[in-house]
Amino acid sequence: MTAIEPTQIPTGRYRFSQVARMEWIKVRSLRSPWWTLTVTVVAAIGIAAAVGAQTKAHTADVTNNILGGVAPGLLLTGVLGVLVMTSEYTSGLIRTTFTAAPKRSLVLIAKAAVFGAVSLVVGEIASFSAFFAGTTSLPRTIASPALSHPSVLRAVALAGAGYCLIGLLGVGLGAIIRHTPAAVAVLVGGVYVAGTALVGLSKSAGSYGPVSIVANSLTTTKRLAHALPPWAGLGMLCLYAALALGIGGLLLARRDA
Amino acid sequence: MIVAEGLVKRYGTTTAVDGLTFTVQPGKVTGFLGPNGSGKSTTMRLILGLDTPDAGVTRIDGRRYRDLRWPLHEVGSMLESRAFHPGRSARAHLVALAASNAIGNSRVDEVLDQVGLADVAQRRAGTFSLGMAQRLGIATALLGNPQVLVLDEPVNGLDPEGIRWIRGLLKSLAGEGRTVFVSSHLISEMAATAEQLVVVGGGRLLADTSVAKLSAAGSGSLEEAFFALTADSAQYEVASQWAGSTTPANPRRASGMTRP
């Protein structure tokens, strides 16, 4: 048997930076998230190029149209966010994680910070590449929007933030629900179905649905009637994610692991 | 040293742990023995701060688990054998956990070598056999070179060579003055590995004694002594487990041979 070499116990105590490093290594060391994120980017670019090539009207909000791949793509980062939590419950890894770092709220904060950063970077890559692909494929007869035009940079940048915020909503839902299928169902129900149902209720209620916020508030350069202003929309998405993460954090601390 | 004082844990109307008080001393392997459903795993989760007790407290060297500064350096634990993401390599799994407690990658390679997984360290852990998964769990527990080890059924799924290996490992860890607390449903395994025994039944403490003393009480057989001790709680367990069922159960089987 190999003799155990004594290791030095570090000074201080474990903190956010150590837990975040653990979570970053967890994300980095799996292939599936990177495939999913690649698909997210490729889908956004593909849809943008197709929409750009089909654009006919001068009057349309071209920027908003070519960012049309963002709303369906949100589902991918949302589900990945759910899996950040629920995959650990599926395997039992969560209990090892909590024995390594017993402060559960710190674990959730670290997971959200790491996944939020990854999904923000990937989201911005997706939205900016989509914008350039879409504008490049526009017919010559259509005036191409540029990032220097009013509201265009904001629309493209907030589209990227949308991926991140729906991803964080997923992390929070994963912490609350803990089971992958149920959490994904609630995510899809909350983001897509409830949003559509709200539109049926009234147009102004519908403007609070997450997909509606991304499609009609964040990514528009021309303000739509019955849509939240872009920054108010961003605030609502932040609120949804913060609520889910806050409730998730409280439940993690209270419940048995 | 692990101390449990007046531990009570209820799940709904079931009382899994019912006023458990015991101490696990350093320097020897302490076996945690009891029939199926006697509260062994629950007690271990309470020690590790994963579940919150309804009453009582557990302390590790005087502190509650959640107050540990560098948990992996102080307590090594293994609860389930497949507590890893199947898509992650064994090494990446350990590197991630090590990072949470500022443990360097050289220590990761050391424990991989120690448990005999160095050659398969880059393989996805999902492809591991139960025995290899168990070794990865033990590697996780050893990561921080802790003074206290809490292992739930570590011999489960190991082949004879692996069982012999873990016996030697546990004894040498205890020989270095560490606290080693190991649950098992295999009485013969405890007889071969443990020096001290904490025996529970129905969530209550039945005996806190040395293996030698308990064997003597069963006229030289630890197994006889164990069945004599747990007869009541085992029958109670079986009665409640099979309530409403027409299938009669052999209490001996239910108490000794199933995994809690």
Q: How confident is the model at residue B258 (pLDDT cuts 50, 70, 90)?
A: very low
Quote the tokens at residue B127: 């492809």
**pLDDT exceeds 70 at position B251:** no
CA dist A11 and B97 (Å) reads 18
Residue A100 has its nearest CB partner, among B97, B113, B169, at B97
Q: What is the pLDDT of residues A30-80, one digit of tens each?
A: 999 999 999 999 999 999 999 999 998 877 899 999 999 898 899 999 999
Q: Which of A15-29, A75-89, B221-235 has the lowest mean pLDDT?
A: B221-235
Residue B220's pLDDT is what? 80
**pLDDT exceeds 60 at position B252:** no
Q: Which helix (H) or strand (E) holds A105?
A: helix A104-136
Residues from chain B that touch A22, judged by Cβ atoms under 8 A, are: 96-97, 99-100
* B169 and A CB contact within 8 Å: yes
Q: Do A5 and B145 touch (CB under 8 A)?
A: yes
Helix/strand/coil (H/E/C) assignment for every residue in B187-252: HHHHHHHCCEEEEEECCEEEEEEEHHHHHHHCCCCHHHHHHHHHHHHHHHHHHHHCCCCCCCCCHH
Q: Do A29 and B51 touch (CB under 8 A)?
A: no
Instruction: Give percent of chain B above pLDDT 90.
Output: 74
Delimiting residues of CATH 3.40.50.300 domain(s) in chain B: 67-146
Residues from chain A that touch B66, judged by Cβ atoms under 8 A, are: 102-103
Q: Cα distance from B67 to chain A (closest Cα, Å)?
A: 8
Q: How confident is the model at residue B259 (pLDDT cuts 50, 70, 90)?
A: very low
Residue B50's pLDDT is what? 97
Asked if B233 and B246 touch (Cβ cutoff 8 Å), the reply is no
**pLDDT exceeds 70 at position A95:** yes
Query: What Å distances lie between residue B232 and A232, B8, B105, B209, B250, CA to CA?
Result: 66, 20, 50, 19, 13
Instruction: Give percent of chain A above pLDDT 70.
Output: 97
Across residues A92-97, what is the average pLDDT? 97
Residue B65's pLDDT is what? 97
**pLDDT exceeds 60 at position B248:** no
Task: Find which of B100, B111, B145 to mutate to test the A interface (most A CBs within 10 Å of its CB).
Answer: B100
Asked if B18 and B204 touch (Cβ cutoff 8 Å), the reply is yes
Across residues B173-194, what is the average pLDDT? 92
Residue with more model confidence, B212 or B218? B212
Residue B197: strand pairing partners: B31, B209
**pLDDT exceeds 90 at position B240:** no
Residue B238's pLDDT is what? 46
Residue with more model confidence, B28 or B223? B28
Q: How confident is the model at residue A192 (pLDDT cuts 50, 70, 90)?
A: confident
Neighbouring C-alpha atoms within 13 Å toward the C-beta of B74: 24
Across residues B22-30, what is the average pLDDT? 97
Count of CB atoms situated within 10 Å of the CB of A187:
25
Q: What is the CATH number of domain B9-38+156-260?
A: 3.40.50
Q: How confident is the model at residue B234 (pLDDT cuts 50, 70, 90)?
A: low
Residue A201's pLDDT is what? 83
Residue B100 has its nearest CB partner, among A95, A100, A257, at A100
Neighbouring C-alpha atoms within 13 Å toward the C-beta of B122: 1
Across residues A242-256, what is the average pLDDT? 97
Closest chain B CA to residue A102: B66
Q: What is the pLDDT of residues B54-88, one digit of tens each?
A: 999 999 999 999 999 999 999 999 998 899 999 99
Residues from chain B that touch A25, judged by Cβ atoms under 8 A, are: 92, 95-96, 99
Give the three-class secondary structure for B63: strand
**pLDDT exceeds 70 at position B237:** no
Nearest-CA neighbor of A232 among A216, A253, A247?
A: A216
Q: Cα distance from B230 to chain A (closest Cα, Å)?
A: 28
Superfamily covering domain B67-146: P-loop containing nucleotide triphosphate hydrolases (3.40.50.300)
Count of CB atoms situated within 10 Å of the CB of A118:
22
Residues from chain A that touch B80, judged by Cβ atoms under 8 A, are: 92, 95
When the pLDDT of each residue in chain B is averaged and rounded to a whole number, the result is: 89
Pairing of strands B148-152, B75-78: parallel
Residue B189's pLDDT is what? 87
Residue B250's pLDDT is what? 42
Q: What is the pLDDT of residues A227-248, one digit of tens each?
A: 999 999 999 999 999 999 999 9
Q: Do A102 and B176 touch (CB under 8 A)?
A: no
Look up residue B89 and give its DSSP letter. Answer: B
Residue B241's pLDDT is what? 46
**pLDDT exceeds 50 at position B239:** no
Residues from chain B that touch A257, judged by Cβ atoms under 8 A, are: 45, 50-51
* B50 and A CB contact within 8 Å: yes
Query: What Å distances lie between residue B227 and A227, B217, B231, CA to CA?
Result: 72, 11, 5
**pLDDT exceeds 50 at position A2:** no
Residues from chain A that touch B169, judged by Cβ atoms under 8 A, are: 1
Q: What is the pLDDT of residues B108-140, one digit of tens each?
A: 999 999 999 999 999 999 999 999 999 999 999
**pLDDT exceeds 70 at position B236:** no
- How many contacts, defined by CB atoms under 8 Å, are there between A and B? 123
Residue A109's pLDDT is what? 98
CA dist B125 and B195 (Å) reads 33
Q: Which of A131-135, B86-90, B208-212 has the lowest mean pLDDT?
A: B208-212
Across residues A91-109, what is the average pLDDT? 97
Residue with more model confidence, A95 or B224? A95
